[in-house]
Structure 1
């Protein structure tokens, strides 16, 4: 049983990483036979890995997800609602130590390379989500993290304008405990992410 679990974990992590780094392109079919042979495991752990990746939104109908315009809008609608509310909570309750962590994320993103910007971007948003102190909300966003990563990679690698400036504005609103402005800025920030991704999709 332990060996089976290990094989499943390896299969899941390898497939997930191939999708997230673009080695498995969007729309490509993922077959149990091919990946069992490639990873040197039986079909069962591959089947389980595919099932988990389907739950995370990275595989759809046995193919690597290739989000349509409608898919993008639906995903971002959920993010805008949840992260907007989480940002309102952050402006109300966030302590000094956590505010400093947010500030550090912004400074890292201003001065870092692409991978550092990716990590700082992710941490910035996660800090705000955790500030909601709502375990249901946190779990909901957590289950979306893989698909969110794809969009985060798009806005960072294709250098969406004003990305870090908007983080700075959100941080300043939270620092000032201006809940209304903080929530609105986060919603506008995510809407800009959506529009940028939609623009690339149409090219």
Structure 2
């Protein structure tokens, strides 16, 4: 019996990873309806692991009402409002407590952001924010933002692929404020940075909706 449970969990995890990657890569576009029977047949498993995978994807905000999420302007504003509050606080805390070793990692992320491939820039961008969030020392903040990572990824991709102006320069200023242990400046710079991300994503979303 335990072996069956193990297999079920493995199938569920594999189904989750396949579906998540397809959503994040754009293979399953926004608004696509999820049909359990079709997915189960395609992935060679029963509908049970598919349902479990769908629950996880719904929890992460990638699926709503059996459809691939199609974020509205309100959804986008709500997401960034949470990020601005939590990452602003995290930056303030990072300026006080972040160790020198982590400062070096932030600097590396900035360098990759300037010189790396698109994929490397995406990973460096994610890592930059992750280091700062971890510096909050608050497990609730970390958990909330971890749960949002998949949906954040979609908007991060928009920012990177459409080459938002001044993105890396803003990371540099946040890094310098944290390194200088200027907690108020670090907080304000992160809040301004994320507001600029929001404004840029709204611009791209609006342009796409009318094309």
Same fold (TM over 0.5): yes
Number of equivalences: 203
2:27 paired with 1:30: no
Show CA shifts across 1:31-73 (max 9, x none): 1011001111111111111111000000001000010000000
Q: CA deviation at 1:150?
A: 0.6
Q: CA deviation at 1:158?
A: 0.9
Say which of 83, 89, 103 aligns to 1:85: 89
CA distance in 1, matches of 2:7, 2:67: 27
The alignment yields a C-alpha RMSD, in angstroms, of 0.6
Say which of 98, 106, 114 aligns to 1:102: 106
Secondary structure of residue in 1 paired with 2:29 = coil
- 1:63-82 aligned at under 5 Å gives the runs 63-82=67-86
2:151 paired with 1:147: yes
Say which of 44, 49, 52 aligns to 2:56: 52
Moved over 3 A (4+): none
TM-score by length of 1: 0.99
Which residue in the other structure is 1:159 paired with? 163
- 1:112-131 aligned at under 5 Å gives the runs 112-131=116-135
2:142 paired with 1:138: yes
CA distance in 2, matches of 1:44, 1:14: 15
Secondary structure of residue in 1 paired with 2:71 = coil
Unpaired runs of 5+ in structure 2?
A: none
Say which of 183, 188, 196 aligns to 2:200: 196
Unpaired runs of 5+ in structure 1?
A: none
